[in-house]
Amino acid sequence: MSKLWPASIRLMDNKQFQFGMALKTEDKNKFHEAVNAAKKYFITQIMNFDPNKMTLCTILFEGSAGEVALQQKNIYALAKKHKGFRAGA
């Protein structure tokens, strides 16, 4: 594994994750509401993640295009190994 690490990694435990979800504002747009409901369904029903056990990690990549590609390759392989996945920006 490479020694090129991301610039920042922040891990949120389940209590922090639930607190963050509680602070979300209500969607006033029906389209966004439907998209969020679909995301929740996918995570909880398809991927079988338990909202009471989930954690979240945010990662910031910096460097040249090659360095960032290598960082992403290493981190995403590690996440996959532990049944995690990339949720996007």
Q: In this predicted structure, what is the pLDDT of residue 87?
A: 84
Q: Which CATH number fits domain 8-81: 3.30.70.60, 3.90.180.10, 3.30.2130.10, 3.30.70.3450?
A: 3.30.70.3450
pTM recorded for the entire structure: 0.70
CB atoms within 10 A of CB 20: 11
Nearest partner of 61 among 5, 10, 11, 12, judged by Cα: 5
Q: In this predicted structure, what is the pLDDT of residue 38?
A: 93
Please give the Cα distance from 4 to 89 (Å, whole number): 21
List the domain boundaries for the chain: 8-81
Q: Tens of pLDDT along 43-64?
A: 999 999 999 999 999 999 999 9
